[in-house]
């Protein structure tokens, strides 16, 4: 699965912060940690639901202070992803989690985009997607978009993440309208823990190009029919769904049903430093645990390029490589 060319469309760059990096950055930035070792930190990575993960995910971000930290974190992710066969990555970042601690928007974006520039030399292209935290206010989201305006040439789109239930897409209608007016693409997490209605709202009110997760869409047959008819891409993250308790084990994941329904599914890692695998590990896991066939895996890789924001020439080139791939 490592040599199958693929795009990764659902990865939170802060979710690639490996425990070793947490300690390294804490030490150089003089940030005190409530753990005495990497092993102790890793032993806390037992989650019951999304919120139990988010608590430690945001706590660890305290070590991200400088442009260099953001640069090194993204460079490490891109190196790991190149080894996983990733040829193109569309990467989420959560600026509010940093600006509220006094980190400048410019330091975040310079750090991340600098790493993306360098990775081009290694045959991997990338884009940044600025995510709004849905458990923060709509006003805070609008203020964040304003702060990002000087850097829009380095941002391809906006997204919506963090604690889903109780924070429907409708809360962010205005800021997504503004983002689209500014020429940005749009995606949103919906139907991860939240109901199918949130998926419909993301499509109708936020006018998103893709749905992140979307697994709970299967609870609503009419919505499934719409997702199939409109070929709305879903960025599914199997290892994440198991670690956050949507499925008790991978063999119970509904990926086979999503594929049987004819939906435009892609495979992704979400927060690989926390969930036990990068993107190719997700491909291998669904092959081993769900019996996903080689031709289905090839289709999932092709879908990742179809669902991406790549220009059509580059997309065609990468799709040819997927066709030529031999398992």
What is the DSSP-derived secondary structure letter of residue 32?
Answer: -
Residue 283 CB neighbour total at 10 angstroms:
23
Per CB under 6 A, 270 contacts ligand ADE: yes
> How far is Cα 297 from Cα 279, in angstroms, rounded to an integer?
12
Q: How far is the CB of 13 from ligand ADE (least distance, A)?
A: 10
> How far is Cα 133 from Cα 255, in angstroms, rounded to an integer?
27
> How far is Cα 128 from Cα 93, in angstroms, rounded to an integer?
7
* Interacting partner of 162 out of Zn ion, ligand ADE, none (Cβ under 5 to 8 A depending on kind): ligand ADE
Part in contact with Zn ion (CB under 5 A); list of ranges 102-110, 127-135, 219-227, 263-271: 263-271
Looking at the Cβ atoms of 211 and 224, the one nearer to Zn ion is 211
| Listed residue (179, 193, 250, 184) closest to 51, CA to CA | 193
Q: How far is the CB of 41 from ligand ADE (least distance, A)?
A: 17
Per CB under 6 A, 90 contacts ligand ADE: no
Looking at the Cβ atoms of 72 and 193, the one nearer to ligand ADE is 193
Per CB under 6 A, 98 contacts ligand ADE: no
C-alpha distance from residue 198 to each of 11, 201, 204, 253 (Å) = 21, 5, 10, 20
Residue 221 CB neighbour total at 10 angstroms:
11
Q: How far is the CB of 321 from ligand ADE (least distance, A)?
A: 29
Looking at the Cβ atoms of 57 and 70, the one nearer to ligand ADE is 57
> How far is Cα 210 from Cα 145, in angstroms, rounded to an integer?
20
Q: Is 230 annotated in the active site?
A: no
Residues 266-285 close enough to bind Zn ion by CB under 5 A = 270
Do 91 and 129 form a contact (C-beta atoms < 8 A)? yes
> How far is Cα 256 from Cα 141, in angstroms, rounded to an integer?
36
Q: How far is the CB of 271 from ligand ADE (least distance, A)?
A: 5
**Binding track over 176-205 against ligand ADE, x by CB under 6 A:** -------------x--x-------------
Q: What is the dihedral of CA 309, 211, 176, 155, to 10 degrees?
A: -30
> How far is Cα 57 from Cα 53, in angstroms, rounded to an integer?
6
* Interacting partner of 201 out of Zn ion, ligand ADE, none (Cβ under 5 to 8 A depending on kind): none
Out of 8, 18, 72, 271, name the contact with ligand ADE by CB under 6 A.
Answer: 271
Residues 30-59 close enough to bind ligand ADE by CB under 6 A = 50, 57
Out of 60, 240, 266, 282, name the contact with ligand ADE by CB under 6 A.
Answer: 240
Per CB under 5 A, 127 contacts Zn ion: no
Looking at the Cβ atoms of 18 and 271, the one nearer to ligand ADE is 271
| DSSP-based three-state secondary structure for 62 | helix
| Listed residue (160, 230, 162, 168) closest to 195, CA to CA | 168
Binding residues vs ligand ADE (CB under 6 A): 12, 15, 50, 57, 161-162, 189, 192, 240, 270-271
Catalytic residue numbers, as ranges: 192
Binding site for Zn ion (CB under 5 A): 270
């Amino acid at each position: 699965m490592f040599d199958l060319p693929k795009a990764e469309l659902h990865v939170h760059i802060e979710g690639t912060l490996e425990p070793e990096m947490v300690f390294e950055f804490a030490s150089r930035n003089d940030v005190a940690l409530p753990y005495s070792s990497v092993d102790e930190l890793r032993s806390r990575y037992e989650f019951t639901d999304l919120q139990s993960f988010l608590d430690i995910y945001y706590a660890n971000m305290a070590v991200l202070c400088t442009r260099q930290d953001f640069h090194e974190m993204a460079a490490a992710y891109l190196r790991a992803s190149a080894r996983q066969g990733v040829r193109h990555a569309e990467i989420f970042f959560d600026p509010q989690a940093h600006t509220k601690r006094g980190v400048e928007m410019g330091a975040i974006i310079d750090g991340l985009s600098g790493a993306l520039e360098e990775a081009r030399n290694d045959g991997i292209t990338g884009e940044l997607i600025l995510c709004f935290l849905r458990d923060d206010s709509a006003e805070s989201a609008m203020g964040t978009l304003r702060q990002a305006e000087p850097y829009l040439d380095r941002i391809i789109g906006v997204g919506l993440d963090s604690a889903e239930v109780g924070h429907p897409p409708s809360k962010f209608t205005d800021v997504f309208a503004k983002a689209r007016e500014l020429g940005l693409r749009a995606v949103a997490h919906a139907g991860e823990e939240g109901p199918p209605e949130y998926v419909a709202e993301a499509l109708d009110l936020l006018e998103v190009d893709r749905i992140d997760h979307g697994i709970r869409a299967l609870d609503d047959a009419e919505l499934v029919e719409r997702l199939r008819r409109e070929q709305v891409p879903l960025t599914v993250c199997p290892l994440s769904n198991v670690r956050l308790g949507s499925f008790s084990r991978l063999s119970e994941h509904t990926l086979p049903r999503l594929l049987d329904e004819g939906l435009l599914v892609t495979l992704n890692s979400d927060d690989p430093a926390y969930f036990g695998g990068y993107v190719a590990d997700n491909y291998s896991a669904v092959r081993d645990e769900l019996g996903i066939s080689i031709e289905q895996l090839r289709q999932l890789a092709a879908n990742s390029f179809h669902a991406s924001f790549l220009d059509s020439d580059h997309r065609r080139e990468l799709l040819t490589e997927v066709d030529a791939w031999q398992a």
